[in-house]
Structure formats: C-alpha cells, structure tokens
Amino acid sequence: LFILPWAVPSIPTILSFRWMLNSEWGMLNGMLWDFFRIEGPYWLVDPKLALSSAIAVHIWKYLPFWTLILMAGRSAIPTDYYEAARIDGASRMQMFAYVTWPQIRNLYVTSTLLSTIWTLGDFNSIYLLTGGGPNELTHVLATLGVRYAFRLQELDMGVATVMTALPILVPLVFILIRRLGGRVE
C-alpha cells in the first residue's frame, strides 16, 4: 500500500489529481467548502499555485520509491555498528552522522542523481496536469519543446529547447555511471 503511488501508472494518477484540484468541482475545494465553508483557491489556474501543485503531485508520485530505496539501504547497515556507537555513548544525532550517513551516502547521491535525471525528463506530469499553463508558467523543457514544435510549428525551437537539457544530463549520466562502478571512456 505504501508504494502504491509509485506503482500506479502516471496517466491515471495525474488525471486523478487534475480532477481533485479542479477549482470548480474538484474534491479538494469541495472538502474545503464542506468542512470550513471557505472557497478553495484556483489550484491549477492561479500562477502562484499551479507550479506548487505540480511539484506536490510529482513528489507524491515518486517519494514512496525513494523512501523504499533509502529504507532498504538503512536496514542493510549491521546493527553491530549501532550497538558499538551506543556503548561509546553516541546520541541519536551522532549515530546518524557517524554511522547511518556514511553507510547510505552513496545510495543517497545515486538516488538524487537518478531523481534529477528522471525529473528533467518528466513530460506527463506537467502536460496532463496544467498543459504548461497558466500563462505558460509551469513548463518544463519537454513540454516547452512540444509547445514550440507542435503548437507553434517552430520545430527548430522545439528541438533546441529540448537539447538544452544535454549539458545538464550528460554530466549527470557520467557521474551516475562512475558511481555505479562502470567505466566511461
């Protein structure tokens, strides 16, 4: 049940959130009215809230996966390390700083790199939730590239927009390959 948000395909998840965040008949604004008698905000129409809503949906979707990865890394640490730290008088914070963190640091860095790469390539979340609006403020490179190439019929701008991710992605991929032990020549 914990990993369900990550396991459910993106399209039904994002469309469900779009339905829940609808300002006129969405579930969230309906609950705000039913319980508190207050008008809910325009979650996906207000420029200040649309990007925050998209970020919240993205975090909700992928957080269980990363939590599971880090929990697995944490549970792989031998309990002897913690017992030795307790005997030496270490506080909980010191145990985290000197036992837990050194053991999961590489896993955390690898997870962060993968998350960054996957987030840069996430087209579905923004496209299905806001379509890049309101006022074109929630675009990511992928949705902006599609906007230029297909809506505005400027294929060269669409390709150029998407290609701007390469200077970010290529070094991240090389770092990730090195961290995972592969050789890059």
Residue 184 forms part of a structural domain:
no
Residue 101 forms part of a structural domain:
yes
Residue 64 forms part of a structural domain:
yes
3-class secondary structure, 38: coil
Burial-class residue 70 by CB neighbours within 10 Å (0-12, 13-18, 19+): middle
Residue 143 forms part of a structural domain:
yes
Burial-class residue 79 by CB neighbours within 10 Å (0-12, 13-18, 19+): exposed
| CATH number of residue 113's parent domain | 1.10.3720.10
pLDDT for the residue numbered 158? 94
Residue 39 forms part of a structural domain:
yes
Burial-class residue 156 by CB neighbours within 10 Å (0-12, 13-18, 19+): exposed
pLDDT for the residue numbered 34? 95
- Owning domain of residue 149: 4-179
**Residue pair 139/147 in contact by the 8 Å Cβ criterion:** yes
Q: pTM for the full model?
A: 0.80
Tell whether the model's pLDDT for residue 184 goes beyond 60: no
Q: What number is the average pLDDT over the span 144-171? A: 93
Residue 25 forms part of a structural domain:
yes
SS3 content of the chain, % helix, strand, coil (to 5): 70, 0, 30
Pairwise CA distance, residues 175 & 184, whole Å: 9
pLDDT for the residue numbered 182? 58
22-81 tens-digit pLDDT: 999 999 999 999 999 999 999 999 988 998 999 999 999 999 999 999 999 999 999 999
CA distances from 87 to 74, 75, 77, 78 (A): 20, 20, 17, 15
Give the chain's domain count: 1
Which is more confidently placed, 47 or 183?
47
Tell whether the model's pLDDT for residue 176 goes beyond 80: yes
Residue 164 forms part of a structural domain:
yes
132-150 tens-digit pLDDT: 989 999 998 899 999 999 9
Q: What is the mean pLDDT of the chain?
A: 91
Pairwise CA distance, residues 155 & 119, whole Å: 23
Residue 134 forms part of a structural domain:
yes
pLDDT for the residue numbered 117? 84
